[in-house]
Every structure is written in C-alpha cells, then in structure tokens.
C-alpha cells in the first residue's frame, strides 16, 4: 500500500458523505487500486483508514482503559495518558502531524463544532458513549506552535459510596463518620480541590447517604454524578450551537431547579456566576446543599468564591455575608503523586470582621483547633458528634 493510494482512498471516503463501514472502505481501496490488490493490502488499508474515520481512531484503546482519565496528544509521537498511576507516555504513534489534525477535526465535527484555520481551537463534548462523557479540547497550529494538541478527558460516572472510598484509603474511619454526620445534620458543604482530585467522587458518595425520602436536584455542566439514591434529579447545562443559539447555563438551571421542589440543591461544579443563585437558594431555606469548586486549599475558598461571585455582579461584602449564612463546611481533596486521591482537610467556615475564613477541624492523623466548632455545628442541628 503506497501513501499515494491511501491518500486517494481517504479523499474518496471524505467526499462520499456515506457512512464509513468496513465494506465501504474495502470497496474504495479496490476502486482506487484499479481492482488489482491483495487481501492483505485491503486489510491494512482498512485498518489505517478506520482509525481515521471511525470513533477515536488510534486513541480508542486508551480511552477504553477504565483507569484512564485523560488522553493527551502533543505530537504524532507524543501520546500521554493520565490515570491511577499518574501521567505517563504511551507507545501509541500517529503516522504524521496531518493524522493528528484530521482526527481532531473529525472529533470536533462530531460535536457539531468547526476546527480550522479560521477557528483554530475547540472545547466541546463528544456524543454519548458507553465509555462515559468525553470532553474534547483541541488547538491547531500556528496557535499550537509545535503541532496539533488534542486533549480528551473521560468523565466516568461517580458512583462510589463512603465505605468504598474508606476502603480505597481516601479517608479513615473517623473522617467517614464525620462525613456521614455532616449529611445527617443537613449542613451545606463545598468540596474543594484541583482537577482530578476526586471532588465529584466524594460528592456522589455523600449524596448517597442522603435519606431516601429527600429529593435531590443536581445541576451539572457534565453528567458525572450518579449517586445511589432513589430521588436524584439531574439537570445538565447545554452549550450554544454553531450559530451561537440554544445555550442553557448553570445559572438558568439553578433557577429551574428551585421550582422542582428540592430538599437538597446541588451544583456539581461551581465555576461562574451561578454561585450567586446557589447562595441565594441556600439562604432561603434549602438546607443541606452542596457543590464542588476548584481551589488550591481550604483557606483559599473564600477568595475563589469572591472571584466567581464578581462574575455575577455580587460585591465582596455581599458575598461574604451570604457565604457565611449559607455554607458551613469545606472538604478539601488532593491528588497525590502516585495518582491516589485523599481527603486532606475538613474545615468550618467562620465569619470574621471583614470577611469569612475557613478554620481547619480535621486532617489525616488527628484533630485540629476547630474541632469544637465542628461539634457545635453538628449539635446545633441535633446530631451528636461522632467522636
């Protein structure tokens, strides 16, 4: 099989507009070769071309690995995966830069988005897949100076319970009891941490402890949460289409969720102006709400919330006033160098002159000064501290 023949077959398939199947690929190879081609050559061409026209191509085996969270391509011979063992380089290789570019453009097209010289980057969700939801990000040269960069993030359903997370070493028995008590007391909480630190997994596990007679309405940017709960209602945001219409934001969904008789309102990830709607909701009788937020440490959560609230036009003083009244607990997750996820701090929000701070109450290995504040918060809701 010559490169010229493969290119002619590729052009024929791309211009045909027909569904790409094994039969279609084999027929195209025979027609472009003039009918004189061996079975081995046909099979080789089918293998090469199906990688370009079907699914995620060369990256499909990497995505099927249940331990993989991210697949990152920074060049034809630079394919990396992130997962349980941390970031590592794979043996997967693309033939050339054009192969990476074609795959990125085809995946973007499957999302209903364009990716070309006029629009050299894309951020979108791939169509539903048994693998889970996959977020696509791609950048073309010359914006990506060294060649097409392709990033695929696999958002697998978060369905672990607290007992499973304890067995995995995410936290110890004491923290397990405290987390269960927080849910029982209907204390509103935020889970902070970096990307891939296990925030959503912990949130799903805690929601699984909510009593079955309570109705949970959850607003998400991506459908990750799947707690073991009989009354879990999920609303998922929608980006604008290629014409720029049809967007449904998290703020829109928070307002809609309030009309659905929630016992607990949850925002899968607080990342923008929706924080204003969430705090307003939690200050109007909706106890036990929850969410996740990106932050480097619990101490930085108030500043992070300030920045997000500013996007919704909420002043610093107003934000701190609402934050101190609406939220009680901050749980901080961290991803360790070996890829494991750990709960590294339980903190209590405290109102001070000029703002709000997070007081550390627990960390692996022992209690911290705000243990008494945590006990008071639980006792105020009629729940005996579990220590």
**7-27 mean pLDDT:** 68
What is the distance of C-alpha 385 from the center of its chain? Answer: 33
Say if pTM beats, i.e. exceeds, 0.85. no
Cα–Cα dist 208/378, whole Å: 19
**71-87 mean pLDDT:** 91
- Scan for tokens 């699984």, then name that residue: 208
Whether residue 54 has pLDDT greater than 60: no
Q: Looking at residue 342, what is its pLDDT?
A: 96
Measured from the Cβ of residue 299, the count of other Cβ atoms closer than 10 Å reads: 17
Q: Looking at residue 159, what is its pLDDT?
A: 65
User: Residue 88's closest CA among 72, 110, 104?
Assistant: 72
In whole angstroms, how large is the CA radius of gyration of the chain?
Answer: 25
For 323-378, write each residue's pLDDT tens digit: 999 999 999 999 988 888 999 999 999 999 888 999 999 999 899 999 999 999 99
For 156-195, write each residue's pLDDT tens digit: 766 689 999 999 999 999 999 999 999 999 999 999 999 8
CB within 8 Å of 288: residues ≥ 6 apart? 183, 186, 187, 188, 210, 214, 263, 264
Higher pLDDT: 53 or 297? It is 297
CB within 8 Å of 260: residues ≥ 6 apart? 215, 217, 233
pLDDT, mean over the chain = 87
Whether residue 1 has pLDDT greater than 60: no
Instruction: Report the side by side order of strands in the sheet with 341-352.
Output: 232-236, 216-220, 264-267, 290-294, 189-193, 329-335, 341-352, 355-363, 366-367
- Scan for tokens 């795959």, then name that residue: 103
Taking the CA atoms of 102, 59, 17 and 129 in sequence, report the sign of the dihedral they define.
Answer: negative
Look at 47-51, 224-228, 360-364 and tell me which has the smallest mean pLDDT.
47-51
The percent of residues above 70 in pLDDT, for the chain, comes to 87
């Amino acid at each position: 099989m010559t490169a010229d023949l493969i290119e002619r077959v590729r052009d024929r398939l791309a211009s045909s507009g027909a569904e790409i199947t094994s039969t279609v690929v084999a027929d195209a190879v025979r027609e472009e070769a003039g009918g004189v081609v061996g079975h081995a050559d046909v099979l080789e061409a089918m293998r090469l071309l199906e990688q370009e026209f079907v699914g995620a191509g060369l990256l499909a085996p990497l995505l099927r690995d249940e331990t993989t969270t991210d697949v990152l391509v920074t060049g034809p011979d630079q394919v990396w995966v992130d997962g349980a063992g941390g970031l590592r380089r794979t043996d997967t290789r693309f033939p050339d830069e054009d192969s990476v570019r074609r795959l990125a453009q085809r995946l973007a097209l499957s999302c209903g988005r364009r990716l070309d010289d006029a629009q050299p980057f894309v951020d979108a969700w791939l169509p539903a897949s048994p693998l889970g939801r996959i977020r696509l990000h791609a950048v073309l040269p010359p914006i990506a100076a060294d060649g097409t960069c392709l990033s695929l993030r696999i958002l697998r359903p978060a369905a672990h319970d607290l007992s499973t997370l304890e067995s995995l070493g995410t936290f110890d028995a004491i923290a397990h009891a405290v987390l269960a008590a927080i849910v029982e007391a209907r204390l509103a909480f935020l889970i902070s941490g970096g990307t891939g630190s296990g925030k959503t997994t912990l949130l799903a596990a805690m929601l699984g402890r909510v009593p079955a007679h309570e109705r949970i309405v959850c607003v998400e940017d991506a459908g990750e949460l799947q707690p073991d709960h009989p009354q879990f209602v999920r609303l998922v945001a929608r980006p604008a289409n290629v014409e720029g219409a049809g967007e449904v934001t998290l703020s829109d969904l928070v307002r809609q969720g309030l009309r659905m008789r929630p016992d607990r309102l949850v925002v899968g990830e607080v990342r923008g102006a929706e924080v204003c709607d969430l705090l307003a909701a939690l200050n109007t009788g909706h106890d036990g709400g929850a969410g996740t937020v990106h932050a480097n440490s619990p101490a930085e959560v108030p500043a992070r919330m300030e920045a997000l609230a500013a996007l919704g036009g909420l002043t610093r003083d107003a934000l701190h006033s609402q934050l101190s009244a609406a939220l009680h607990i901050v749980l901080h997750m961290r991803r360790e160098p070996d890829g494991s996820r750990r709960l590294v701090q339980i903190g209590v929000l405290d109102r001070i002159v000029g703002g709000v701070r997070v007081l550390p109450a627990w960390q692996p290995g022992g209690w911290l000064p705000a243990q008494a504040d945590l006990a008071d918060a639980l006792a105020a809701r009629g729940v005996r501290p579990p220590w």
